[in-house]
Amino acid sequence: MGYPTTPYTLRPFADNDLGARGSAEEARRKAFNRHLAGQRIIIEHAFGDLKGRFRSLCDLGTMDNMEELYKVIEAMLVLHNICIILGDRPEEIEDFEQVMDAGHDEESELQSARWEQGLDGESMTSSQLHETDLYLRTKGRHVQLRVLNKLFN
């Protein structure tokens, strides 16, 4: 997987994290993984529809103002949802082509590296310490286990 488990991203349990072979815990975690895979397909199709409707999402390039980028994407999400509510279907748009991500490319990897070190290359402020990699992964693990227990208890 190309991303860690954080409070904002859930990923399947790794093979070495499933529990003892044949145990009830292994069965629960495998069921969680199957459920998550099904949800991921739905999400990928939704992103494909969104990118098909707003082709500019496919070529945003490098933006130094991430706050502005969030506003643009949020506006597109709102407009997309309004279109859905009004019965507009993206596949009915002339030249619509659902866009599916092929995976990570070099630009994505560079962007991820910029995020990890901070957009301007400076170290994180004390107010950002709660967003460190270790903190996010730890909190993400707690969320993953909470979801597992809620779905498969």
What mean pLDDT comes out for the span 23-28? 92
Concatenating the DSSP letter of every residue in 32-89 gives: HHHHHHHHHHHHHHHHHHHHHH-GGGGG----S-HHHHHHHHHHHHHHHHHHHHTT--
Which tens digits make up the pLDDT trace of 40-75? Answer: 898 888 888 888 888 888 777 666 777 888 888 899
Q: What is the pLDDT of residue 132?
A: 76
Domain count for the chain: 1
Answer whether 0.75 is exceeded by the pTM: no
Cβ atoms 50, 58 nearer than 8 A: no
Tell me, yes or no, whether 136 lies in a domain.
yes
Secondary structure class of 9 (helix, strand, coil): strand
Tell me, yes or no, whether 3 lies in a domain.
no
Note down the domain range covering 76.
Answer: 15-151
